[in-house]
Amino acid sequence: MNPVGLVLSLLFVVCAAGIILGILVPEKRIPVLLAWAGSIAALLALYAAGAVLVSGGEFHQSLWTIPSIGTLTILLNPVSAFFLFIAAIVIFASSVFSAAYMQRYVGHYSLAAFNTWYLVLCASIVWILLEEDVFGFLLAWEAMSISSYLLVNFEHRRSGTSRAGFLMLAMGEAGFVAVTVALLILATRAGSGHFSDLSIAAVALRPLLRWTVFLLTFFGFAVKAGLVPVNAWLPRAHPAAPANVSAILSGVILNLGLYGIIRLDFQIAPLPATEAGLVILLTGTISALVGILYATTETDLKGVLAHSSIENIGIVTLGFGAGVIFAEAGYPLISGMAMIAALYHMLNHSIYKALLFLGAGSVDEHAGTRDLDRLGGLMRLMPWTAGVFLIGALAISAVPPFNGFVSEWLTLQILLRGVVLQSIPLRLVFAVCGAVLALTAALAVTCFVKTFAMGFLGLPRSENAARATEARGAAIVPMVLLALLCLLLGVLPTYVMPALNRDLQPLISAGSSDSLIPPFFTATPENDQLPPAFLQDFHNLGAQSGQKLLPGRGLVVLLRGSEHNPVVFAMSPSYSIVALVILLAAAGIIFLGLTRRRGLTRRPLWAGGIPRLLPQMTYTATGFSNPVRVVFQAIFLPNISEGTRDTVAVHFRTAIRRKRAEVHVVDRVFLRPIGQAVYGIARFLAGMHHGKLNAYVFYVLAFLLLVLLVYRAT
């Protein structure tokens, strides 16, 4: 048997064995069992994905034949292997974290049930990425949806958890139905359920039918990806789930929605139209802005991270949209750069969001609350958790030298390349989307300054926060590993981008990474890889530094332009971190020198004339984000009700109470109108049930006449 096939078989065996052992062993041992089974399965998935990515080949296997359905097959190609690689990293970290974290549920909830659904979820994620036919793909997708719902609903006795889980399931099933209809349209035309046959049949579809398939699949998968306007479940479900599940939801499940969009809308049934790219671009842009606005004003730590996931998936999606538009406009290299930036950002988001959700779980467990208004001072009490959370916050805020900066900066630069497009309206759209992305980046910094400062700095603002203790080692280790990945992916993008370009063709145009990463390490004045003057200028800046020590093309990300504008944009995180370390070291030396010379004395902190500063006097997360609420009130539009109590013949007010009720913009603009329309239709149909026989006969005849007219028209 092929080694990849053997490893994948072992993966499913490990998941099945873990489920069986979870039923047999004592409950207190289940967290360790879950950690071992989940991490071994993740390592096996990591090996299988890595083998395919390194070889650049495919693993293909026919399974069994089902009458009237056909032969079920599995395929692991470089695209699905890339998604599997990311999923394996996140699942490994979440599984190791579970050994310590799940101890809190012993004796309160059924850990055997959690172990079962967790391993089913892991297996179904791998199954989705392997499937190559409609029947198996839909079956695996449904297994993933149901198991993730059951995990979100694990703490079902907590207020709001069951409602959040049911909303997630209901919206997920609606998206599933949309995707199923689209796949059935393609399968009917192809006469087969194999994805390769569907791809052939999609080419012959009429334009209207192709648009139907595109919209059904894009918005059907957008539900799972958490894109506006079909993301109402996400900010409710992620905070309700245990932290290790939230990490998988945000770092893996959202990616599966993007995988579905890539698989169906980019590979099987692509719609060669600029308008399709605009739909994707604008959906991503709106999602990014809406997500970060609500993240900035949220006070629940996991709620902040959930809304931030909407923002980051929006950034990935707008990168996809830009890639489609550039490809249709005849700029394949820029299109490939856009896809590299989008997929790199997806990888980065999975890493730092898993880190942040695990950190939030540690805070919730050891500080007893996730309310940022009641936290504070955790830096002294939970130094390891605070340190890794700070790295995650810097990464998600796109602060160098961490990974979020590279992909977000590159995405912004790609949007600015909209100036090369011939269409003036398209240029305006790209300019607006670039401005929105820049605003989103600024709000992300505000959001996570608030999150870290109010959660970990200052004074504890509650008894629980004051009694917080550090998490156990099994919880710290996976967070440290993820933090190191955030640094490595931020410092070495010139190694990641060529790998993406090499492995993900034809999704990414060949040569896109070559245009981004000039071969400074291999170019010399004697060869013609780069113009001599251009090469000399950058060698004078140190672009060749490190070529004696490191392999690869170089350490500079740079887009070359015309003779009059030789450099469109350029950066080097690798050299930047060296400069940053030197500057920090110099600042530290100067500080130590000054304090030794002058001496350091400690005095009581002056607190405005009061004996001491009380926690109640310090800034809260609500107060910090209030300017954002005021500036963007037109988007938030809260319902404010005021109640007063009067006395002395209604001439004096003794009390004024103002209550602010937030209504999410997606609910207000999208879900509520749909709900009201459905309710109106239901009331109309209910009115038809009046018991009059003649009217019922008329309904039947009218329906038959309608069927005949439709049949005649087609």
DSSP conformation letters of 278-311: HHHHHHHHHHHHHHHHHHHH--BHHHHHHHHHHH
The confidence score (pLDDT) of residue 651 equals: 63
Determine phi and psi for 374, rounding to 5 degrees. Answer: -110, 0
Taking only the tens place, the pLDDT of each residue in 577-628 is 888 889 989 998 888 887 776 666 777 777 777 777 777 778 888 888 888 8
Range scoring the smallest mean pLDDT among 39-48, 72-81, 515-524:
515-524
Sorting pLDDT into bands at 50, 70 and 90, what band is 147? very high
- The residue with greater pLDDT, 365 or 641, is 365
Q: What is the pTM of this model?
A: 0.91
Per-residue CA distances from 595 to 542, 588, 591, 601, 603 (Å)? 35, 11, 6, 9, 15
Q: pLDDT confidence of 362, banded at 50, 70, 90?
A: very high
Give me the mean pLDDT over the 126-153 stretch.
Answer: 93
* Range with lowest mean pLDDT among 286-295, 415-424, 498-507, 646-655: 646-655
Q: Which residue has the higher pLDDT, 163 or 525?
A: 163
Distance CA 221, CA 219 (A): 5
How far is it, in rounded angstroms, from Cα 598 to Cα 222?
61
What pLDDT is stored for residue 677 in this prediction? Answer: 87
Task: Count Cβ atoms below 10 Å from residue 90 Cβ, excluding itself.
Answer: 28
Report pLDDT for 599. Answer: 67
pLDDT tens profile 508-517: 887 788 888 8
Contacts of 459 (CB under 8 A, 6+ apart): 376, 377, 613, 614, 615, 618
Residue 502 has pLDDT above 70, yes or no: yes
Phi/psi of residue 571, nearest 5 degrees: -165, 165
What tens digit of pLDDT does each residue of 253-310 get? 999 999 999 999 998 988 888 899 999 999 999 999 999 999 999 999 999 999 999 9
Please give the Cα distance from 458 to 173 (Å, whole number). Answer: 44
- In the prediction, which pLDDT does 247 show? 94
- Better pLDDT: 523 or 679: 679
- The model's confidence at residue 528, banded by pLDDT at 50, 70 and 90, is low
Lowest mean pLDDT among 168-182, 202-216, 427-441, 593-607: 593-607
As given in the structure block, the two tokens for residue 396 are 């998600």
pLDDT over 70 (residue 526):
no
Among 32-36, 241-245, 673-677, whose mean pLDDT is lowest? 673-677
Q: How far apart are the first and last CA of the chain?
A: 51
**40 has a pLDDT exceeding 70:** yes
Local confidence band at 477 (pLDDT 50, 70, 90 cut-offs): very high
Beta bridge partners of 131: 74
Predicted pLDDT at 649? 58
Rounded CA gap, 201 and 186, in Å?
A: 7
Average pLDDT over residues 176-200: 89
pLDDT tens column, 391-411? 999 999 999 889 999 999 999
Give the Cα separation of 179 and 436 in Å (integer): 30
Q: Is the pLDDT of residue 213 over 70?
A: yes
Q: How confident is the model at residue 522 (pLDDT cuts 50, 70, 90)?
A: confident
User: Burial of 587 by CB count in 10 Å (0-12 exposed, 13-18 middle, 19+ buried)?
Assistant: exposed
167-170 LR contacts (CB < 8 Å, sep 24+): 167/232, 167/233, 167/236, 167/237, 168/233, 168/234, 168/236, 168/237, 169/145, 170/233
564 Cα distance to chain centroid: 39
Residue showing tokens 């020198």: 593
**Between 147 and 655, the higher pLDDT residue:** 147
Closest CA relative to residue 363, chosen from 455, 295, 483: 455
Q: Coil, strand, or helix at residue 130?
A: helix
**Length of the chain, please?**
714
Q: Residue 315 burial (CB < 10 Å; 0-12/13-18/19+)?
A: buried
Q: pLDDT at position 68, please? A: 66
Q: Which of 53-62, 535-544, 683-692 has the highest mean pLDDT?
A: 53-62
283-297, 309-323, 528-542: least confident range: 528-542
Q: Which two tokens stand for residue 465?
A: 């926060």
For the chain, give the mean pLDDT.
Answer: 88
What does each C-alpha distance from 286 to 124, 278, 282, 297, 635 come to in angstroms? 31, 12, 6, 17, 12
User: What pLDDT, on the 0 to 100 scale, is given for residue 57?
Assistant: 84
Does the pLDDT value for residue 45 go beyond 90?
A: yes
What's the average model confidence in pLDDT over 677-690? Answer: 81
For every residue of 191-225, DSSP letters joined together read TS-BHHHHHHHHHTS-HHHHHHHHHHHHHHHHHHH
Burial per residue of 568-577, b for 16 or more beta-carbon CB atoms within 10 angstroms, e otherwise: ebbbbbbbbb
